[in-house]
Structure 1
Amino acid sequence: MPSASSPSPVPSVPSSLWRGRDFRSLWVGQTASQLGEHTSLLVLPLFAVLTLDAGAGQLGALRAVGQAPILLLSLFVGAWVDSWRTRTVMVLADAGRTLALGAAAVTGMLGLLGLPALFAVAFAVGVLSVFFDVAYQASLVRLVTRDQLVRGNSALEGSRSAAQIGGPALGGTLVSLLSAPIAAASSALFFALSFLSIRRIRHCESLPERTQRPPRIRCRIHEGLRFVIGDPSLRTVCLASAAFQFSFAATMTGYLLYLPRELHLSGTAVGLALAATGPGALLGSVLAARLPRRFGHGPVLVSAAALGDGAFLCVPALHGSSALTVAALLAVGFVFGAGGQLVNVTVMTVRQAVTPDGMQARVAATITFAGMGMTPLGSLLGGFLAEEWTLRTSLLVTAAAMLLSPVLMALSPLARLGRTLPAPAGCAAAPRSP
């Protein structure tokens, strides 16, 4: 694999990527899908809080139900996706999410969208999102060469940044000015656009040869787990991701209550505060294509995580709904978005570089399971703490806990990764767990 610090391929990579219709279709589809996801992530909680007057425990439970499929299904989905075309998986997932949110919009317009229906929609969208997210993370490796991974990931994560800008702001505005059903309908339209775009991918993916008696799914899951546990960098990514996602889920449950109830912000202001991570994430995507090749992947990971996660400690100090408070929230979101996106792109590039092609989906699913699988528990804890303590106190404690993630990375071999990424290990030689 060429050195990550080599400048020669950089000018040619974007043009070679964008000349391919398949990559453009993937980029457009993933952008639309992320817009739908980030819109719905705000629409459903705001509908529960502002329209149904949901309490902290109910909001935590709603978020946990939407996140539970990550914990329940990620490992199985990863083992399954490695044997199928990612395009097919993404198309079916988008079609399902379109139908689920479309049904939510219709029932909402008829006045039938209560908490039980919200729980059902959140769970269905969560299940399908697991399939889409695992498939899209594995799809890039099948579309581009390994020396294009950094630029390809930067482009895809940049689209996610754009979704972080537009999704929450659009969702909050539609809920405030129109209604939650219309906001849900906008999410369904984004997923429909993603469906149409990804269907245009014509690349014939190379899949592992199927034997007459393919390995049982349990064995395939075990192979993925053993590979991740045996690799020091991937093992650290799992631990740091679990610590961050657990704390972040707890923080966000309190945050979504703190903004409208403690700071008395409108739905539009809440959407803008959440959307502020988008411009920061755009900057993080740009920096992710440059900083690791200059300073090393490990130092960039630790520094970006510490800066981004630490920014949330400023939020509990804010009071009132003044312009200064909103400006401070925008600044916090920007810094958090920049640091978080820099970490996301760098981690994804490291993971893809050290993983053999035949295990990409399983490794992605294993890391998703270890990290995002903690979010339902974090959401429940956030709701519990917000009920037992004050919103300000619970937010301070959960935000401080987010700093455990950069500490774990700083104390691991991941922090010592340099400018050149290691080559992937062979599947047959995958290291065994201790």
Structure 2
Amino acid sequence: MTQTTAAAEPLPVSETPHVGTAAGAAEAPVPLRRNRPYVLLMSGLTTQSLGGSVARFAVPLLALGLTGSAAAAGTIAAVGQAGALLATLPAGVVADRTDRRRLVVVAASVAAVLWASAVVAAALGGLTAWHLAAVLCGSAVAAAFLDPAISGAFRAVVPTAQLPTAYATAQGRDAVAGIAGGPLGGLLYGVAAALPLVGAVVGHAATALCAWFVRAPLNDDVTQARATRPLAALREGLGYVWAVPLFRASLGLFVAVNVAVNGMLVGINLELARTGTPPVLIGVVGTVAAGSMLLGALAAPALVARLRLGVLTVLALVPVVLAFVGMALLQTYVAYVVLVGVGMLMVPAVNSAMAGYTAAITPDGMQGRLASVLGLSGVAAMPLAPLVGGTLLEAGGIGVVLWTLVALLAATVVGLALVRSLWRVGTPDTWADDALPMPAE
């Protein structure tokens, strides 16, 4: 709210994996490593994740260098992401009535071109703070269309039984990108401030190229979806999500979790930058967080298979609260590095369980709208987190950032623990029993 062992010899690859339908239920699904559409999608997204991680590390530092103000740098990041708030809900409607493969190709290509414009402007000495904000905004809009298309595509090519593993692998992919992205971003930033942005160009281009080569259908028939007016389809999606207590509770509470955690990390990075910490060392904080999440992603399939979602949520978020309390008390570089690793260890398990469960119980024709509506929890946090982190840092220092957001995070975890529908979700072998129908017309 995103591991297999290589064979000794090349294995044949399936183009049409068995999905969780009645016709294919009797046959065991092919391993994910032999599922060609899944492998292609994951290959492009892995490259995008690495390139995006390199670019994201540099953006706050680049904005700080262009403006000279932590608050202004946070504002630029917030303005840059605000476009996604406007695009997210329409994007879900589009994803449910459009060929998903084509939508992924177009959205990723647009993002690649936008990031390339920033690289060219920087090379010519003409990159401004507002140009950077415009690129961030346009890229966020493209991502708003890309994310629900990818979510629906995953559900189309991955059987229900393999969803926890697929989403845990995606979490591990992002963790590996985070491990490499921080130090690589710091190294490239030391050479030229805008050089890390090349990673975003390459990553989005790879996603577009890999999706282009997917030949398996990523949608059911969209004729009926196209017969519904877009505004009616949007209302249908909002009503569908609001009718499910778990989805309804997730909307607000996970916004608060994302704002608290990401706001703290932005505040820490800006504090280290303005106190003269070398960029490579700043990147180590993100690397340790990503390494912890990688370990958590490796353990996630086993944990999701054994623990109910409510238990996983508490086990994942309580250590995050305790870790950030420790950071607020100590306020040292070593504390940031060590405790961020401790806190993030269980996060991939709850992310994988939540993503897998929501995908498993939602019909194909609603996948895009579900992803976009629930994705508001992350999209809303994207502009808020840097704005909150930067503003609090400017107003009162790192102590104010940490203690304020620790209080928000702790209150949110208590709120999640009181959501009864969260505790009713079982292990993956019961998810098919919770499948929901499309709303009646």
TM over 0.5: yes
Structure 2 CA distance, aligned partners of 1:351 and 1:332? 31
Q: Is the 2:187–2:279 Cα contact (8 Å) retained in structure 1?
A: yes
* Structure 2 partner of 1:315: 327
Q: Say yes or no: does 1:406 pair with 2:434.
A: no
How large is the RMSD of aligned CA atoms in angstroms? 2.2
Structure 2 CA distance, aligned partners of 1:212 and 1:242? 29
Q: Say yes or no: does 1:218 pair with 2:237.
A: no
- Among 34, 52, 62, which residue is 2:49 paired with? 34
Deviations 1:271-298 (A, max 9, x none): 1111212111112212220112212222
- 1:72 alignment partner, SS class: helix
* Structure 2 partner of 1:305: 317
* Structure 2 partner of 1:139: 153
Q: Say yes or no: does 1:428 pair with 2:420.
A: no
> Which amino acid in the other structure matches residue 241 of structure 2?
V
Deviations 1:26-49 (A, max 9, x none): 111111111122222111111122
Q: Is the 1:284–1:341 Cα contact (8 Å) retained in structure 2?
A: yes
> Which amino acid in the other structure matches residue 206 of structure 2?
L
Aligned-residue offset at 1:230: 1.2
> Which amino acid in the other structure matches residue 224 of structure 1?
G
Give the unaligned 5+ runs of structure 2.
Answer: 1-24
Identify if the C-alpha distance between structure 1 residues 280 and 139 changes in structure 2 by more than 3 Å, giving closer, same or farther. Answer: same
Structure 2 CA distance, aligned partners of 1:99 and 1:205? 25
How many residue pairs align between the two structures?
411
- Among 127, 139, 143, which residue is 1:113 paired with? 127
Structure 2 CA distance, aligned partners of 1:400 and 1:265? 27
* Structure 1 partner of 2:60: 45
Q: Say yes or no: does 1:268 pair with 2:280.
A: yes
* Structure 1 partner of 2:393: 386
Q: Is the 2:60–2:270 Cα contact (8 Å) retained in structure 1?
A: no
Q: Say yes or no: does 1:366 pair with 2:377.
A: no
Aligned-residue offset at 1:234: 1.4
Identify if the C-alpha distance between structure 1 residues 182 and 382 changes in structure 2 by more than 3 Å, giving closer, same or farther. Answer: closer
* Structure 2 partner of 1:258: 271
Q: Is the 1:243–1:402 Cα contact (8 Å) retained in structure 2?
A: yes
- Among 256, 263, 274, which residue is 1:243 paired with? 256
Q: Say yes or no: does 1:417 pair with 2:417.
A: no
* Structure 1 partner of 2:290: 278
Percent identity between the two aligned chains? 27
> Which amino acid in the other structure matches residue 38 of structure 1?
S
Structure 1 CA distance, aligned partners of 2:197 and 2:105? 20
Aligned-residue offset at 1:54: 2.8
Q: Is the 1:105–1:182 Cα contact (8 Å) retained in structure 2?
A: yes
* Structure 1 partner of 2:20: none
Deviations 1:190-227 (A, max 9, x none): 22222222222111233344249722222111111111
Identify if the C-alpha distance between structure 1 residues 85 and 313 changes in structure 2 by more than 3 Å, giving closer, same or farther. Answer: farther
Aligned-residue offset at 1:77: 0.3
Runs of 4+ in structure 1 off by over 4 angstroms are none
Identify if the C-alpha distance between structure 1 residues 310 and 59 changes in structure 2 by more than 3 Å, giving closer, same or farther. Answer: farther
Deviations 1:67-101 (A, max 9, x none): 21232111110011011222212211221122111
Identify if the C-alpha distance between structure 1 residues 335 and 69 changes in structure 2 by more than 3 Å, giving closer, same or farther. Answer: farther
Structure 2 CA distance, aligned partners of 1:428 and 1:212? 12
Q: Is the 2:262–2:386 Cα contact (8 Å) retained in structure 1?
A: yes
Structure 1 CA distance, aligned partners of 2:37 and 2:370? 24
Identify if the C-alpha distance between structure 1 residues 397 and 229 changes in structure 2 by more than 3 Å, giving closer, same or farther. Answer: same
Structure 2 CA distance, aligned partners of 1:145 and 1:212? 23
Aligned-residue offset at 1:252: 3.4
Give the unaligned 5+ runs of structure 1.
Answer: 1-8
> Which amino acid in the other structure matches residue 165 of structure 2?
R
Structure 2 CA distance, aligned partners of 1:429 and 1:335? 46
- 2:78 alignment partner, SS class: helix
Q: Say yes or no: does 1:64 pair with 2:78.
A: yes
Aligned-residue offset at 1:131: 1.6
